[in-house]
Amino acid sequence: FSFLRRGMSPNLNLMTLPHIYIFAITNTAAVTYDFAYKMRFLYKKVKIVENPEEFYFVLNMMEKDDCIILVSYSGETFELFDVAELKTKYQFHTISITSLGDNSLIQYTDCHLFISTREKLYSKIGHFVSNESIYYILDTLYACLFRKHYQENWDKKLALSKRIDYERYSTIDIIQEDE
Protein backbone atom coordinates (compact mmCIF):
# COMPACT_ATOMS: atom_id res chain seq x y z
CA PHE A 1 0.00 0.00 0.00
CA SER A 2 1.82 3.07 -1.18
CA PHE A 3 1.10 6.43 0.35
CA LEU A 4 1.74 9.91 -0.91
CA ARG A 5 3.34 11.74 1.96
CA ARG A 6 5.86 14.34 2.93
CA GLY A 7 9.17 13.21 4.39
CA MET A 8 8.35 9.52 4.78
CA SER A 9 9.64 6.39 3.16
CA PRO A 10 7.52 5.54 0.12
CA ASN A 11 7.46 1.93 1.30
CA LEU A 12 5.96 2.37 4.76
CA ASN A 13 4.67 -1.03 5.82
CA LEU A 14 2.15 -0.94 8.64
CA MET A 15 2.84 -4.59 9.39
CA THR A 16 6.42 -3.84 10.44
CA LEU A 17 5.57 -0.93 12.73
CA PRO A 18 5.56 -1.61 16.47
CA HIS A 19 2.11 -0.16 17.22
CA ILE A 20 -0.86 1.21 15.31
CA TYR A 21 -3.19 3.60 17.08
CA ILE A 22 -6.42 4.98 15.70
CA PHE A 23 -7.72 8.25 17.12
CA ALA A 24 -11.40 8.82 16.41
CA ILE A 25 -14.52 9.88 18.28
CA THR A 26 -18.27 9.16 18.08
CA ASN A 27 -19.44 7.51 14.85
CA THR A 28 -15.98 7.44 13.27
CA ALA A 29 -14.62 5.47 16.22
CA ALA A 30 -17.37 2.89 15.87
CA VAL A 31 -16.43 2.29 12.23
CA THR A 32 -12.77 1.62 13.08
CA TYR A 33 -13.46 -1.37 15.34
CA ASP A 34 -14.09 -3.59 12.30
CA PHE A 35 -10.61 -2.76 10.95
CA ALA A 36 -9.01 -3.54 14.32
CA TYR A 37 -10.86 -6.87 14.41
CA LYS A 38 -9.69 -7.83 10.92
CA MET A 39 -6.10 -6.88 11.72
CA ARG A 40 -6.13 -9.47 14.52
CA PHE A 41 -6.22 -12.15 11.84
CA LEU A 42 -2.90 -10.74 10.62
CA TYR A 43 -1.65 -10.84 14.23
CA LYS A 44 -1.35 -7.06 14.25
CA LYS A 45 -2.65 -5.15 17.27
CA VAL A 46 -4.56 -1.95 16.63
CA LYS A 47 -5.48 0.24 19.60
CA ILE A 48 -8.49 2.51 19.15
CA VAL A 49 -8.45 5.65 21.24
CA GLU A 50 -11.84 7.33 21.29
CA ASN A 51 -11.76 9.32 24.50
CA PRO A 52 -10.34 12.81 23.84
CA GLU A 53 -8.98 12.91 27.40
CA GLU A 54 -6.90 9.83 26.60
CA PHE A 55 -5.36 11.30 23.40
CA TYR A 56 -2.57 13.14 25.22
CA PHE A 57 -1.64 10.14 27.35
CA VAL A 58 -1.35 7.84 24.35
CA LEU A 59 0.53 10.44 22.28
CA ASN A 60 3.08 10.87 25.04
CA MET A 61 3.60 7.10 25.29
CA MET A 62 4.15 6.60 21.56
CA GLU A 63 7.55 5.41 20.44
CA LYS A 64 9.64 6.03 17.36
CA ASP A 65 8.12 4.34 14.31
CA ASP A 66 4.69 3.86 15.88
CA CYS A 67 1.83 4.89 13.63
CA ILE A 68 -1.23 6.94 14.40
CA ILE A 69 -4.27 7.04 12.14
CA LEU A 70 -6.44 10.09 12.83
CA VAL A 71 -10.02 9.84 11.60
CA SER A 72 -12.12 12.99 11.35
CA TYR A 73 -14.82 13.93 8.85
CA SER A 74 -14.31 17.67 9.29
CA GLY A 75 -10.57 17.51 9.87
CA GLU A 76 -10.96 19.78 12.88
CA THR A 77 -11.57 17.19 15.60
CA PHE A 78 -8.02 17.10 16.91
CA GLU A 79 -7.28 20.83 17.10
CA LEU A 80 -7.03 20.76 20.89
CA PHE A 81 -3.58 19.22 21.00
CA ASP A 82 -0.42 19.74 19.04
CA VAL A 83 0.27 16.49 17.20
CA ALA A 84 2.90 18.26 15.07
CA GLU A 85 5.00 19.12 18.14
CA LEU A 86 4.79 15.61 19.57
CA LYS A 87 5.43 14.06 16.17
CA THR A 88 8.66 16.02 15.81
CA LYS A 89 9.73 15.00 19.29
CA TYR A 90 8.91 11.29 19.00
CA GLN A 91 9.15 10.70 15.21
CA PHE A 92 6.05 8.58 14.76
CA HIS A 93 4.14 8.18 11.49
CA THR A 94 0.79 9.91 10.91
CA ILE A 95 -2.03 9.08 8.53
CA SER A 96 -5.22 11.11 8.25
CA ILE A 97 -8.57 9.86 7.05
CA THR A 98 -10.58 13.02 6.45
CA SER A 99 -12.57 15.08 3.98
CA LEU A 100 -10.94 16.46 0.88
CA GLY A 101 -10.03 20.09 1.37
CA ASP A 102 -7.79 22.32 3.41
CA ASN A 103 -8.35 21.43 7.05
CA SER A 104 -6.23 21.40 10.20
CA LEU A 105 -5.72 17.65 10.22
CA ILE A 106 -3.91 17.44 6.89
CA GLN A 107 -1.54 20.20 7.99
CA TYR A 108 0.20 17.88 10.47
CA THR A 109 -0.17 14.40 9.01
CA ASP A 110 2.19 12.69 6.59
CA CYS A 111 -0.33 10.76 4.55
CA HIS A 112 -3.88 11.73 3.65
CA LEU A 113 -6.62 9.29 2.70
CA PHE A 114 -9.68 11.26 1.67
CA ILE A 115 -13.30 10.30 2.30
CA SER A 116 -16.37 11.44 0.43
CA THR A 117 -17.54 14.95 1.28
CA ARG A 118 -21.16 14.50 0.26
CA GLU A 119 -22.62 15.21 3.72
CA LYS A 120 -23.08 18.40 5.68
CA LEU A 121 -21.65 18.52 9.19
CA TYR A 122 -24.94 18.11 11.06
CA SER A 123 -27.94 18.61 8.75
CA LYS A 124 -28.33 14.95 7.82
CA ILE A 125 -30.29 11.98 9.09
CA GLY A 126 -27.16 9.90 9.61
CA HIS A 127 -23.49 9.48 8.76
CA PHE A 128 -24.16 7.12 5.87
CA VAL A 129 -21.73 8.37 3.23
CA SER A 130 -18.89 9.29 5.58
CA ASN A 131 -19.09 6.00 7.48
CA GLU A 132 -19.13 3.96 4.27
CA SER A 133 -16.15 5.97 2.97
CA ILE A 134 -14.18 5.23 6.14
CA TYR A 135 -15.14 1.54 5.96
CA TYR A 136 -14.01 1.43 2.34
CA ILE A 137 -10.64 3.04 3.07
CA LEU A 138 -9.95 0.77 6.05
CA ASP A 139 -11.14 -2.34 4.18
CA THR A 140 -8.88 -1.44 1.26
CA LEU A 141 -5.96 -0.89 3.61
CA TYR A 142 -6.60 -4.27 5.26
CA ALA A 143 -6.92 -6.01 1.88
CA CYS A 144 -3.63 -4.51 0.68
CA LEU A 145 -1.85 -5.65 3.83
CA PHE A 146 -3.43 -9.10 3.55
CA ARG A 147 -2.40 -9.38 -0.11
CA LYS A 148 1.24 -8.63 0.64
CA HIS A 149 1.71 -12.20 1.97
CA TYR A 150 -1.57 -13.64 0.76
CA GLN A 151 -1.08 -17.39 1.23
CA GLU A 152 0.56 -17.05 4.63
CA ASN A 153 -2.17 -14.65 5.80
CA TRP A 154 -4.92 -16.86 4.37
CA ASP A 155 -3.55 -19.90 6.19
CA LYS A 156 -3.32 -17.97 9.48
CA LYS A 157 -6.80 -16.52 9.11
CA LEU A 158 -8.34 -19.86 8.23
CA ALA A 159 -6.68 -21.64 11.15
CA LEU A 160 -7.65 -18.91 13.59
CA SER A 161 -11.23 -18.73 12.29
CA LYS A 162 -11.61 -22.50 12.71
CA ARG A 163 -10.41 -22.25 16.31
CA ILE A 164 -12.64 -19.29 17.14
CA ASP A 165 -15.76 -20.38 15.26
CA TYR A 166 -15.55 -24.14 15.82
CA GLU A 167 -19.15 -24.35 17.08
CA ARG A 168 -20.55 -22.19 14.31
CA TYR A 169 -22.86 -23.90 11.84
CA SER A 170 -25.66 -23.19 9.42
CA THR A 171 -28.55 -25.11 7.94
CA ILE A 172 -28.22 -23.07 4.75
CA ASP A 173 -26.31 -25.13 2.20
CA ILE A 174 -24.86 -22.27 0.19
CA ILE A 175 -22.90 -20.81 3.14
CA GLN A 176 -21.66 -24.08 4.65
CA GLU A 177 -17.92 -24.68 4.60
CA ASP A 178 -16.44 -27.36 2.37
CA GLU A 179 -14.53 -29.69 4.64
Q: Is the pLDDT of residue 161 over 70?
A: yes
What is the rounded average pLDDT of the residues 154-177? 88
3-state secondary structure of 123: coil
The band of 143, judged by pLDDT with boundaries at 50, 70 and 90, is very high
The band of 81, judged by pLDDT with boundaries at 50, 70 and 90, is low
Q: In a 10 Å sphere around its CB, with 0-12 CB exposed, 13-18 middle and 19+ buried, how is residue 177 labelled?
A: exposed
The band of 110, judged by pLDDT with boundaries at 50, 70 and 90, is confident
Comparing 45-49, 53-57, 86-90, 97-101, the range with the smallest average pLDDT is 86-90
Which of the pair, 9 or 76, is modelled with greater confidence?
Answer: 76
Residue 118 C-alpha from the chain's centroid: 21
Q: What percent of the chain has pLDDT over 90?
A: 32
Q: Is the pLDDT of residue 31 over 90?
A: yes
Length of the chain: 179
- Residue 140: predicted pLDDT: 92
The band of 5, judged by pLDDT with boundaries at 50, 70 and 90, is very low
Specify the amino acid at residue 23. Answer: F
What is the rounded average pLDDT of the residues 102-131? 80
Residue from 118, 120, 82, 114 nearest 101 by CA? 114
Q: How far apart are CA 132 and CA 109, in angstroms?
A: 22
Q: How far apart are CA 154 and CA 176, in angstroms?
A: 18
What is the rounded average pLDDT of the residues 98-102? 86
Q: What percent of the chain has pLDDT over 70?
A: 88
Specify the amino acid at residue 134. Answer: I
The band of 175, judged by pLDDT with boundaries at 50, 70 and 90, is confident
